[in-house]
Structure 1
Amino acid sequence: MKPLAVVCALLMSTTATAQISYPSTEKGPVVESAFGQKLPDPYRWLEDDARNNPKVAAWVAAQNKVTQDYLATLPGRDAIKARLTELWNYERLGIPKRAGGRYFYTRNDGLQNQSALYVRDGLNGTPRLLIDPNTWAKDGATALDSWKVAEDGAHLAYQIQDGGSDWRTVRFLDVADATVLPDELKWVKFSEIAWARDGSGVFYSRFPEPAGGQTFQALNERQAVYFHKLGTPQSADRLVYATPDRPKLNNSAEVTDDGAWLVITSSEGTDERLEITLIDLRQPGAKPVTLIKGLEHNWKLAGGEGDTLFFITNKGAPLQRIVRIDAANPGAAPVEVIGEDKSMLDNAHLVGGKLLALYLVDAKSEVRRFAPDGKAEGKVTLPGIGTADGFEGDPDNPETFFSFGSFNQPGAIYRYDAATNAVSVFAQPKVAFDPAAFEVTQTFYPSKDGTKIPLFLVRKKGVTGPRPTILYGYGGFNISLTPDFSPAILDWVDMGGVYAMANLRGGGEYGKGWHDAGRLANKQNVFDDFAAAAEHLKGQGIASKIAISGRSNGGLLVGATTNQRPDLFAAALPAVGVMDMLRFDRFTAGRYWVDDYGYPERAADWAVLRKYSPYHNIRSGADYPAILVSTADTDDRVVPGHSFKYTAALQAADIGDKPHLIRIETRAGHGAGKPTSKKIEEAADLWAFAAKWTDLAVPAPTPPSRP
């Protein structure tokens, strides 16, 4: 019998490597003129929605066939999928929410496509199923999104997501008998759900109904806040707040814990530059009052007691601080409660008379306690190095819950008593691996300009020497990457690979300065940081061959860095990426991204975007790595036309004979709500592809049993 490693090597050597015959992609005559330059866009027709254009649908089908035929030749794909299924098969609970003496939480038994919603009467009550979205669609692609319970626990509002779309439908439930009420709210997107204190109805945000055929591509503008009274049709909903003179503003609403104030947050893009408007809910017919005017700084509500509202802000504090504002005297200056720290203040909640502040310390969670006057009262004990989330609750009740996890440990749920500072386990996952067999370390490396960049490394204990490595990054929109559990990551590491995650500039790990250093005219820093991570991994003997991976803005990162440094990588896995930087603002939510990318209609911004746009900078004559693009036909966040056009351009270019393929999922959007089965299939395809081109020995197929 041959050793497993030899079998794996033999399997890898027999994989088909002949040049792939790509589907023919028609080139159109479109040529645009911008700022004195003529720019061909031969694949403009691929921007059309595949659901409405049979020609695009045929292209999608042809590309998927070629890709699936290739993936079927890869060794170990079935074995990888089998192991992923094992790793995914563990019970997962969401963070509980308390209302009216009841406790509500989501639960997935392991391989359910969607998590279901349960309720307990009392903390130790018997769980009762309220909502099971697994019964909503045969393909499992209709998901339960966010949900909110009325203060008395009698009714629940929940958002339904279908086929991965950003559009939501809001429905209502009688908690006592799980009866679904007839109320239904449409054209909801990017919306909070906030119950009136008396449970009579909810505040929510909606857009106007799009024109025919533009549901999944039209720009999102003129969002307004409405109040829906239970038992009435949506057509009777009361308009609460709108900004018709500023149609690009998004307007969302939340109600303070005591029901006194409606806090409306307005934004124009993805930047945390907000305006705050208040409505006194204790006064019938009260008019909106501006609390914070001008889209200049972040103002995030952390809690309220009567007229005293606590906000997180970066005004005068790039790493953020907490202030209090007198809502009854909106002209008064904010009063600092907790000053800026050397670490990033990421979130805060007022619970049981304590301010619980969540900090990022070199991208790892730390939770600190403060009295409402800002007096420090120590820290909350966390289980280790990782990511904490939750801590929502009531100002007058010390009970709250939080989750904590890391790369090698799924998120466990903990109960926290703010009065005693006591932490206890509420739910601990049972997993099909030994967390102690894996190690998580953090290091720092210099980027091109000398800036020190944090880098997390995940390896199996005992693995030494250069190994095939997945390098993941994002670097944008003030989003922080923190240690979090993924069965897919663990599977790659379990096979003997290394997983590396770089905290690139453009993220939020170190506050506003870190974000600013990786956006607009500074965007090239992000690509330099990513390339420097690869050079560090190789130079330190950690990585042998590298596959780079990223999603959304991270897909842009992978595409741009591959164009600039194709020599560094063996494979590239750009997922749902923003690939045409000169037209991103013309579809759905794309207009929000100008805060990070700039305005394509402005000459200076256009020149910057033109230099790194993945679609426009594919270098014929260069030897590119193997590339597997992934997207979804119903992604209405980053429309799939980005990936379609980019793939067509890759396949038409002279960039070597390695495969340049696209995997197009059906009825799956940008990522949220994706069924477990689709997640497993996607991860198996990506890892089999990456393993092939990084020379990672994959498990041998299980031989058929003999009779």
Structure 2
Amino acid sequence: FDEPNEATKLEDLNYYQKLYYHKLGTPQSEDSLIYERPDQKEWGFSGQVTEDGNYLIITVFLGTDPKNLVFYKNLQDPDSPVVELINEFDASYSFIGNDQSVFWFRTDLDAPRSRVIAIDTNHPDQAQWQEVIPQADETLEGVSLLNNQFVADYLKDAHSSIKIFDLDGSFVREVELPGIGSVGGFNGLRYDTETFYSYTSFTTPATIYRYDMVSGESTIFRQPQVDFNPDDYETKQVFYPSKDGTQVPMFITHKKGLQLDSNNPTYLYGYGGFNISITPNFSISNLVWMEMGGVYAVANLRGGGEYGEDWHQSGTKLNKQNVFDDFIAAAEWLIGAQYTSPQKLAIAGGSNGGLLVGACMTQRPDLFGAALPAVGVLDMLRFHKFTIGWAWCSDYGSPDNPEEFKALYAYSPLHNLKPGTAYPPTLITTADHDDRVVPAHSFKFAAALQEAHEGEQPVLIRIETKAGHGAGKPTSKIIEEIADKWAFLVRRLEVEV
């Protein structure tokens, strides 16, 4: 981007991205401009060089829309033009690697759960594209190239499954994982015969494994030491019906021996947007909650990427209410299964998840004992007017579109607060330098909620200083915020500690 204006940096819209080449050890002012499109102010760019060093791959994206373009430049000829290989926003294309002029991509074109295709740049017409790995029942999240084979990262009901294929698409083996959890890694060069991956679950700290691509054996490389016994806890996955009958998965983790007496303090987390999959992950802070006897539940809502692009689209724009229905149904299921009661149930989410919490607490204030919307998008009629907010229209729709405005207005948390309503105890969190979701969302919602709320239950806002949307926050600030969050819930849900 161009250098921001200090006075308006939290209000200026993020337009006109450019792609530069930077040489380490030199000042940024000496960077070389590689590509720009002044005629396309909303386009964003990312660049990567192929392993053989012959091509620069330019991925062109439009806000947060998963659909993208792919251009490339021949680096062996400095005067070569940028070639528009894929020039329509018709699907998602993620570059995997190449064999000379043949490029491999993961794409959801004609495959909502994604597949692998090959494009020969000498014959780039779509009719000449070759399918290498067809769409499976699971969702293909990523592919890497190792040992001259494809390593495919699948999601099966929101947990990882890793499969290896030869370059012709022939199945080789499935990697044996320690359990139901999330896997990351499997990076390296095309002919590497070993790689590393991390495995984590709700009760397993992230452990790094060395993987032999030839023998298929995994060995522990690094295992963190955490002072707790994972055997004291259990995780189960349930499937519950949403309002329209759609089956939605949910993970539930707690100490073994839990009594289903409707009296367990329960923390229900969700996100449901932007094609992002919420998978099992270890968290010390969540462990603290469970050590106190709490239940930790994660609902895999529509709008996410757990079941591919169809699942994502069923929770966007005019379908956004499905996400809130899924979350409300999760709460009702937990109550019906006697895990908890409305007085003992807290809901939480951040960013788009903050919108989720805000919408659900305004639609069903009777259902929750506490609400924690963090750095949330809460004004759905003006979100597109600040910083990068315009880029979210691919998921939310645009307030400038009459039909989408009607849908946005129907659930916008700020605009659906009703005076004289008893809302649940609420702790809103934000930061004064959040330039992703500007803190004005939280400021306005807190003020309007305090005005509309009836009763003695608290409505609080916690504003972190010298911090942003969350990334890069110092450990000390994270600890302070988590301590305040658990203290709030211990008090409001009457947790015995």
Distance 2:390 2:59 in 1: 18
Shift of 1:298: 0.3
Letter in 2 for 1:494: E
TM-fit CA distance, 1:230: 4.3
**8 A Cα contact 2:421 2:452, kept in partner:** no
The aligned counterpart of 1:645 is 444
| Corresponding position of 2:293 | 496
Map 1:543-554 onto structure 2 (within 5 A): 543-544=340-341, 545-554=344-353
SS at match of 1:537: helix
Question: In structure 2, what is the equivalent of residue 384 of structure 1?
Answer: 179
Per-residue CA distance 1:363-392 (angstroms, 9 max, x = gap): 010000000110000111111110001111
Q: Is contact 1:305–1:395 with CA below 8 Å preserved after alignment?
A: no
The corresponding residue for 2:45 is 251
Q: How far does residue 642 in structure 1 lie from its aligned partner after superposition? A: 0.5
Cα 1:396–1:654 change in 2 (3 A) is: closer
- The offset of 1:226, in angstroms, is 1.1
Q: Is the 8 A contact 1:223 1:242 kept in 2?
A: yes
Q: Which has the larger radius of gyration?
A: 1
Unaligned 5+ residue runs, structure 1?
1-206, 699-707
Q: 3-state DSSP class of the match of 1:697?
A: coil
> 2:273 is paired with a residue of what secondary structure?
coil
Counterparts in 2 of 1:309-348, with a 5 A limit?
Answer: 309-331=103-125, 333-348=128-143
How far apart in 2 are the matches of 1:451 and 1:331?
Answer: 39
1:675-704 Cα offsets, whole Å, 9 max, x none, are 112111111111111122222112xxxxxx
Cα distance in structure 2, aligned partners of 1:574 and 1:229: 42
Q: 1:231 deviation in Å?
A: 4.9
Correspondence 1:188-207 to 2 at 5 A: 207=1
Shift of 1:216: 3.0
- Amino acid of the structure 2 residue aligned with 1:646: F
**1:111-132: CA deviation from partner (whole Å, max 9, x where unpaired):** xxxxxxxxxxxxxxxxxxxxxx
Q: Residue 614 in 1 paired to residue 413 in 2?
A: yes
Contact 2:423–2:453 (Cα < 8 Å) also in 1: no
Alpha-carbon separation, structure 2, partners of 1:651 and 1:275? 46
Equivalent residue, structure 2, for 1:444 = 239
The alpha carbon displacement at 1:514 in A equals 0.6
Moved more, 326-335 or 379-388: 326-335
For residue 232 of structure 1, report the CA deviation from its aligned partner. 4.1
Partner residue, 1:508:
305
How far apart in 2 are the matches of 1:622 and 1:653? Answer: 7
One-letter identity of the residue aligned with 2:468: G
Counterpart of 1:468 in structure 2 is 265
Residues 509, 231 of structure 1: CA spacing in aligned structure 2 closer, same or farther, 3 A cutoff?
A: closer
Q: Alpha-carbon deviations, 1:410-461, whole Å to 9, x = none?
A: 1001111222222111101111101111111100111111111101000101
Is the CA contact 1:371–1:377 (under 8 Å) kept in the aligned structure 2? yes
**251, 268, 275: which one pairs with 1:478?**
275
Identify the residue that residue 169 of structure 2 maps to in structure 1.
374
- Which of 75, 79, 98 is the equivalent residue of 1:281? 75
Q: 1:681 aligns with which of 480, 484, 496?
A: 480
1:90 maps to: none
The reply on whether 1:220 has 2:220 as its aligned counterpart is no
Q: What TM-score, normalized to structure 1?
A: 0.69
Which residue of the other structure, out of 326, 329, 349, is the alignment partner of 1:532? 329
Give, in whole Å, the separation in 2 of the partners of 1:578 and 1:460.
Answer: 33
Distance (Å, rounded) in 1 between the aligned partners of 2:477 and 2:31: 37
Aligned equivalents of 2:97, 2:494: Cα separation in 1: 52
Partner of residue 626, structure 1: 425
Distance across 1 between alignment mates of 2:375 and 2:27: 37
Aligned to 1:364: 159
Is 1:562 matched up with 2:364?
no
Whether contact under 8 Å (1:448, 1:532) holds in the other structure is yes
Amino acid at match of 1:499: Y
Question: How far apart, in 1, do the equivalents of 2:236 and 2:491 lie?
Answer: 26
SS of structure 2 residue aligned to 1:509: coil
C-alpha distance after superposition, 1:557-579 (max 9, x if no partner): 00010000000000000000001
Q: What is the distance in 1 between the residues matched to 2:190 and 2:19?
A: 26
How far apart, CA to CA, are the structure 2 residues paired with 1:367 and 1:667?
40
Deviation string 1:663-684 (CA, Å, 9 cap, x unpaired) is 1111221111111121111111
Instruction: Write the distance in 2 (CA, Å) between the matches of 1:217 and 1:327.
Output: 42
Aligned twin of 2:217:
422
CA RMSD, aligned part only?
1.2
C-alpha separation in 1, matches of 2:27 and 2:225 = 45
Report deviation, 1:329: 3.4
Separation in 2 of the partners of 1:301 and 1:243?
Answer: 21
Q: 2-side partners of 1:512 and 1:251: how far apart? A: 22
How far apart in 2 are the matches of 1:224 and 1:327?
25
Length-normalised TM-score, structure 2 = 0.97
Q: Distance in 1 between matches of 2:373 and 2:25?
A: 46
Q: Which amino acid aligns with 1:653?
A: A
Task: Tell me what 1:63 maps to.
Answer: none
Gaps of 5+ in 2: none
- Residue 590 of structure 1 aligns to which amino acid in structure 2? G
Structure 1 position 306, deviation (Å): 2.2
Distance 1:420 1:282 in 2: 37
Q: Which moved more, 1:340-349 or 1:459-468?
A: 459-468
Q: Distance in 1 between matches of 2:250 and 2:25?
A: 53
Residue 68 of structure 1 corresponds to none
Work out which of the residue numbers 187, 194, 203 in structure 2 matches 1:408: 203
Deviations 1:111-157 (A, max 9, x none): xxxxxxxxxxxxxxxxxxxxxxxxxxxxxxxxxxxxxxxxxxxxxxx
Decide whether the 8 Å contact of 1:249 with 1:268 is kept in 2. Answer: yes
Q: Match for residue 159 of structure 1? A: none
Separation of aligned partners in 2, 1:416 and 1:516: 36
Distance 1:614 1:233 in 2: 45
Equivalent-residue separation in structure 2 for 1:654 and 1:635 (angstroms):
26
SS at match of 1:393: coil
Q: Assess if the C-alpha contact under 8 Å between 1:633 and 1:669 holds in 2.
A: yes
- Contact 1:472/1:548, CA 8 A, preserved across alignment: yes
